[in-house]
């Protein structure tokens, strides 16, 4: 096995991709999109419960990423940075939706009134539809944690890295 | 341990992140508490269901629209970047840099395949030798033994490498997957152990050699599938991860 430092290798690859995007290389931005689009699409769709708007959400997330790529300093991986940005955007969308509906601003950590959530019967079997519904009924912060950890496969530390930095309500 | 105390440890237990002593405490409580035991079962069921949720693809037009939108944007502002070496001060555990792990796994998988190439050549050579007949190159017992030892070394190296990267992240595997993996590893290790014993008693036996190689190959394949499964999970490719899990379960 050739001696190499995989941490530096990935770090270098991230920085190289960012530099190419900054330099106006369209194929580099497309590579970033192809690498993360599906996962972010599903995350955004489940996070906001807006499947019909998921395409627009995804476009917004990547447009934001393009605009903010100059702020990427390489302190975390590009993937983590992108998920943080996506999660932040999803939470903003949810907040705006609450505002538009004329509801009083409330902490996203505060559980919403939910007939499914309390009391929770012990489930003997869970099908996907039930689970999708249950995810949609979670308060946003809990939903974010569940989606990142259980659906997307992030470790606990990564969940904290993405979520804490993306919202100050955690 | 009370039910309340178990609640504090529940997620770490289901994630397989508890220290052995704490895990034993939890297991002792679960043996006598049906409610907590049912809760653990439910959590595992939910975890497995979450893992298998459908994954939808964005419409192809999204990229087209995005391209058009980006074309109207000014170039992103540049900022001085941190150099790769700076990350060296940060451990994987602290940083949670999963793509780093992916890179390492990919590199090791590649190295494993490369490491096994001589062995594949050996198998091909032996097959060629067998079809060529005794008139060709004479293979001495000593050379076969040396070749066998080298080949086994390659396998063991591959297994060790894969085991290392699999161990790094099996804590984050779904407990159901981890349980299947552990069960299969136990069976294969037993087969390797028995094959070694057979070979020791009959060093010249082709069957004994083949048996050991088969067992080693199976373990390499199992560990490779495990690493691939973790990679697919990390990449968010649930469908492929599901297929890998099916392979793992067979």
A68-82, A129-143, B56-70, B78-92, range with greatest mean pLDDT: B56-70
Whole-Å CA distances, B141 to A136, B201, B204: 67, 16, 8
B155 and B235 together in one domain: yes
Of A98-112, B67-81, B156-170, B183-197, the range with the lowest mean pLDDT is A98-112
B66 touches chain A (CB under 8 A): yes
Q: How far is CA A91 from CA A40, A48, A110, A132, A133, in A?
A: 14, 8, 14, 18, 19
Is B38's pLDDT higher than 70?
yes
Is any Cβ of chain B less than 8 angstroms from the Cβ of A151? yes
What distance in Å separates residue A104's CA from the closest CA in chain B? Answer: 32
Interfacial A residues in 72-111 facing B (CB < 8 Å):
72-80
Cβ-count burial A48-60 (b if 16+ within 10 Å, e if not): bbbeeebbebbbb
Of B79, B93, B233, the CB nearest to A70: B79
Residue B125 lies in a domain: yes
Check whether B13 has a pLDDT greater than 70. Answer: yes
Q: What integer pLDDT is reported at residue B144 of this predicted model?
A: 54
Cα–Cα distance measured from residue B246 to residue B225, given in angstroms and rounded to the nearest whole number:
10
* C-alpha span between B103 and B13 (Å, rounded): 28
Of B104 and B207, the one with more pLDDT: B207
A114 inside domain: no
Residues 173-232 of chain B with CB under 8 A from chain A are none
Asked, for residue B92, whether it belongs to a domain, the answer is: no
Choose the closest CB to B84 out of A15, A37, A153: A15
Distance from CA of A8 to the nearest CA of B (A): 5
Write the pLDDT tens digit of every residue in B103-133: 334 334 434 433 443 443 444 444 444 344 4
pLDDT, position B223: 74
Co-location of B10 and B116 in the same domain: no
Structure tokens of A119?
């009391």
Q: Which of A63, A74, A155 sits opposite B96 (nearest CB)?
A: A155
Summarize pLDDT for B166-178 with one digit per residue, the tens: 666 555 566 677 7
Q: How far apart are CA B48 and CA B56, in angstroms?
A: 18
- Hey, what's the torsion of the CAs at A132, A137, A139, A140, to 10 degrees? 40
In a domain, B71, yes or no: no
Same domain, B234 and B121: yes
Cβ–Cβ contact A11 with B under 8 A: yes
Mutate one of A82, A155, A163, A164 to test the B interface: name it (highest B CB count within 10 A): A155
Same domain, B123 and B36: no
Structurally, chain A folds into a number of domains equal to: 1
| pLDDT at residue A99, as a whole number | 73
Q: Say whether pLDDT at B17 is over 70.
A: yes
More confident: A124 or A57? A57
Question: Is residue A41 a part of any domain in this protein?
Answer: yes
Model-level pTM? 0.48
What sign does the dihedral A27-A30-A32-A35 (CA atoms) show? Answer: negative
Residues B47 and B122 in one domain: no
Structure tokens at B159: 């297994």
Mean pLDDT value of segment B179-200: 76
Residue at B117 is within a domain: yes
Residue B217 forms part of a structural domain: yes
The answer to whether position A113 is within a domain reads no
**Residue at A88 is within a domain:** yes
pLDDT (0 to 100) of residue A120: 38
Residue entry with tokens 């019909």: A52
Percent of chain A with pLDDT over 70: 71
Q: For A37, which residue in chain B has the nearest alpha carbon?
A: B58
Mean pLDDT of B149-170: 65
Task: Give the pLDDT confidence score for residue A66 in this predicted structure.
Answer: 94
Give the pLDDT mean for B180-197: 76
User: Looking at beta carbons, which residues of chain A come within 8 Å of B103?
Assistant: 6-7, 9-10, 13
> What's the pLDDT band for B63 if we cut at 50, 70, 90?
very high
Determine, for residues B235 and A39 on separate chains, whether the beta-carbon distance falls below 8 Å.
Answer: yes
The mean per-residue pLDDT over the stretch B145-155 comes to 63
pLDDT over 50 at B189, yes or no = yes
Q: Note down the domain range covering B31.
A: 3-51
Q: pLDDT exceeding 70 applies to what percent of chain B?
A: 55
pLDDT on residue B163: 66
Which of B13, B50, B82 has the highest number of chain A CBs within 10 A, making it the mutation to test binding with A? B50
Mean pLDDT lowest for which of A64-68, B23-27, B156-160?
B156-160
Residue A104 has pLDDT above 80, yes or no: no
Closest-CA residue of A relative to B106 is A6
Q: How far is B215 from chain A (nearest CA, A)?
A: 24
A41 in reach of chain B (CB within 8 A): yes
- Shortest alpha-carbon distance between residue B203 and chain A (Å): 31
Kindly state whether residues B199 and B120 are assigned to the same domain.
yes
pLDDT of residue B32: 92
CB-based contact A126 B46, cutoff 8 Å: yes
Cβ-Cβ contacts under 8 Å for B95 (sequence gap 6 or more): A76, A157, A161, B87
Please tell me the distance in Å from B238's CA to the nearest CA on chain A: 9
Structure tokens, B179: 């349980």
Q: Does residue B157 surpass a pLDDT of 70?
A: no
CA dihedral for A43, A9, A29, B82, sign (positive or negative): positive
Record: contact B98-A62, CB cut-off 8 A:
no
Could you tell me which residues come within 8 angstroms of residue B211 by beta carbon, excluding any fewer than 6 positions away? B195, B198, B199
Structural domain contains residue B40: yes
pLDDT top residue among A21 and B211: A21
Mean pLDDT across the stretch A93-105? 67
B245, part of any domain: yes
pLDDT in tens, A111-151: 444 433 333 343 334 466 777 877 888 877 778 888 887 77
Return mean pLDDT, chain B.
66
Instruction: Report the pLDDT averaged over residues B234-250.
Output: 71
Provide the 8-state DSSP code for B236.
T
Size of interface A-B (CB pairs under 8 A): 177
Which of A4, A77, A120, A122 is the mutation pick for testing B, counting most B CBs within 10 A?
Answer: A77
What residues make up the domain containing A44?
6-106+119-166
Q: What is the mean pLDDT of residues B181-209?
A: 76
**Number of structural domains, chain B?**
2
**CB proximity A5 to B under 8 Å:** yes
Residue B22 has pLDDT above 80, yes or no: yes
Q: Is the CB of residue A95 less than 8 Å from the CB of residue A6?
A: no
Confidence of residue B81 (pLDDT cuts 50, 70, 90): very low
Per-residue pLDDT, B76: 76
User: Is B88 domain-assigned?
Assistant: no
């Amino acid at each position: 096995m050739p001696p190499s430092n995989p941490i530096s290798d990935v770090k270098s690859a991230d920085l190289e991709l960012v530099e190419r995007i900054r330099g106006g290389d369209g194929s580099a931005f497309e590579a970033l999109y192809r690498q993360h689009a599906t996962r972010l699409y599903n995350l955004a769709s489940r996070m906001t419960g807006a499947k019909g708007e998921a395409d627009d959400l995804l476009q917004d997330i990547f447009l934001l990423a393009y605009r903010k790529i100059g702020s990427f300093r390489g302190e975390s991986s590009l993937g983590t940075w992108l998920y943080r940005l996506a999660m932040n955007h999803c939470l903003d969308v949810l907040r705006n939706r609450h505002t538009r509906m004329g509801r009083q601003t409330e902490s996203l950590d505060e559980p919403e009134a939910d007939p499914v959530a309390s009391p929770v019967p012990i489930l003997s079997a869970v099908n996907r539809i039930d689970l999708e519904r249950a995810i949609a009924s979670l308060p946003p912060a809990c939903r974010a944690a569940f989606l990142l950890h259980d659906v997307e496969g992030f470790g606990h530390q990564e969940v904290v890295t993405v979520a804490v930095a993306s919202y100050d309500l955690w | 341990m009370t039910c309340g105390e178990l609640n504090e440890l529940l997620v770490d237990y289901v994630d397989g992140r508890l220290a052995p002593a704490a895990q034993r405490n939890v297991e002792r409580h679960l043996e006598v508490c049906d409610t907590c035991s049912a809760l653990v079962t439910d959590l595992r069921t939910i975890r497995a269901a979450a893992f298998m949720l459908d994954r939808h693809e964005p419409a192809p037009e999204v990229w087209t629209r995005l391209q058009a939108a980006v074309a109207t944007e000014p170039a992103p502002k540049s900022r001085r970047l941190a150099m790769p070496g700076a990350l060296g001060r940060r451990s994987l555990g602290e940083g949670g840099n999963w793509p780093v792990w992916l890179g390492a796994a990919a590199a090791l998988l590649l190295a494993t395949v490369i490491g096994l190439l001589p062995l594949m050549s050996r198998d091909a050579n032996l097959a060629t030798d067998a079809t060529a007949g005794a008139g060709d190159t004479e293979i001495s017992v000593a050379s076969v033994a040396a070749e066998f030892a080298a080949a086994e070394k390659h396998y063991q190296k591959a297994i060790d490498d894969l085991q290392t990267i699999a161990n790094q992240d099996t804590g984050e595997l779904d407990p159901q997957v981890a349980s299947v993996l552990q069960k299969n590893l136990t069976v294969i290790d037993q087969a390797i152990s028995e094959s070694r014993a057979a070979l020791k008693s009959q060093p010249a036996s082709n069957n004994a050699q083949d048996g050991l190689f088969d067992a080693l190959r199976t373990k390499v394949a199992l560990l490779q599938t495990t690493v691939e499964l973790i990679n697919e999970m990390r990449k968010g490719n649930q469908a492929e991860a599901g297929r890998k899990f099916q392979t793992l379960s067979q």
